[in-house]
């Protein structure tokens, strides 16, 4: 499926609820989600990093791109890749390496993982514009807004960033861990689909959709749930 078809999935949900994108961490999990009937997948950096033996944010870019390529090759549905903050790569190289994996979308966050703070919003908007120019319509760009992680958790600040990123050419906005009541105002202000993070014990994807989310992802949550099952199996195998 092309990026155009993936882009369209964000806008034609209606009564079907939001676009739910499970997060595979390897080829086997990707096949399981695709076989279950999900129309697209979105890799989580945390889950992929953990499957490669790294902490979230510590996987080398080459290993992350290789993992995304294995996932994309394993399924016939579109795959969007979480590429963290872009690894400091120039826009041309970043886009080229993404397209080589077979991914048709990406997440790009606006926080500085090393400094645990937010990037300048205008500089981030400029970077998004460069990526948009390099990719054309070949990538669905999901621009993460991290004010609710590292900023003042204020809707006004999130909206200011969201507007800039929309003007820069983002296809979707991801105000990660935003209060659900902020999803609809961000969508209305920008005219773009909004990605919500489903969290354990929180609202269901359908409930998030009712509050304004067009797209729902899970971060590393599905990988953590799967590993909890593995740990229980491992504990049951111990010989006492």
pLDDT tens digits for 2-29? 899 999 999 866 567 899 999 999 999 9
Q: State the pLDDT at residue 170.
A: 98
Q: State the pLDDT at residue 188.
A: 97
Record the pTM. 0.94
Tokens standing for residue 137: 């319509």
pLDDT of residue 108 exceeding 70, the answer is yes
pLDDT of residue 30 exceeding 60, the answer is yes
Task: Describe the strand order of the beta sheet including 215-217 as a list of residue ranges.
Answer: 19-20, 215-217, 195-197
Q: What is the mean pLDDT of residues 94-111?
A: 97
Q: State the pLDDT at residue 114.
A: 66
**Count of CB atoms situated within 10 Å of the CB of 233:** 9
Q: State the pLDDT at residue 151.
A: 83
Q: State the pLDDT at residue 11.
A: 83
Residue spans of alpha helices (H) in 36-120: 45-51, 61-74, 91-101
Q: State the pLDDT at residue 129.
A: 98
Residues 38-90: tens digit of each pLDDT: 999 999 999 999 999 999 999 999 999 999 999 999 999 999 999 999 999 99
Residue 184: exposed, middle, or buried by beta-carbon count in 10 A (0-12, 13-18, 19+)? middle
Quote the CA–CA distance of 103 and 99 in Å, as a whole number. Answer: 6
Residues 123-173: tens digit of each pLDDT: 999 999 999 999 999 999 999 999 999 988 999 999 999 999 999 999 999
Q: State whether residue 180 is helix, strand or coil.
A: helix
Residues 199-232: tens digit of each pLDDT: 989 999 999 999 999 999 999 999 999 999 999 9
Q: State the pLDDT at residue 238.
A: 83
């Amino acid at each position: 499926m092309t990026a155009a078809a993936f882009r369209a999935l964000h806008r034609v949900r209606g009564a079907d609820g939001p676009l739910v994108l499970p997060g595979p961490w390897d080829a086997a999990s990707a096949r399981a989600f695709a076989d279950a009937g999900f129309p697209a997948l979105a890799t989580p950096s945390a889950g992929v990093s953990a499957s490669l033996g790294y902490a979230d944010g510590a996987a080398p870019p080459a290993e992350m791109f290789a993992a995304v390529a294995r996932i994309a090759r394993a399924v016939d549905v579109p795959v969007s890749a979480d590429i963290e903050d872009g690894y400091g790569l120039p826009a041309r190289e970043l886009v080229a390496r993404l397209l080589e994996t077979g991914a048709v979308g990406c997440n790009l966050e606006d926080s500085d993982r090393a400094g645990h703070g937010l990037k300048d919003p205008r500089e981030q908007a400029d970077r998004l514009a460069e990526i948009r120019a390099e990719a054309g319509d070949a990538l669905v760009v999901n621009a993460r807004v991290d004010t609710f992680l590292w900023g003042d958790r204020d809707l006004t600040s999130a909206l200011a960033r969201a507007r800039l990123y929309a003007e820069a050419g983002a296809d979707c906005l991801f105000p990660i861990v935003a209060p659900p009541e902020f999803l609809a105002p961000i969508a209305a202000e920008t005219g773009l689909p909004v990605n919500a993070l489903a969290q354990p014990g929180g609202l269901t994807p359908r409930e998030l959709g009712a509050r304004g989310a067009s797209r729902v992802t899970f971060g590393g949550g599905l990988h953590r749930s799967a590993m909890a099952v593995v740990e229980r199996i491992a504990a049951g195998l111990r010989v006492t």
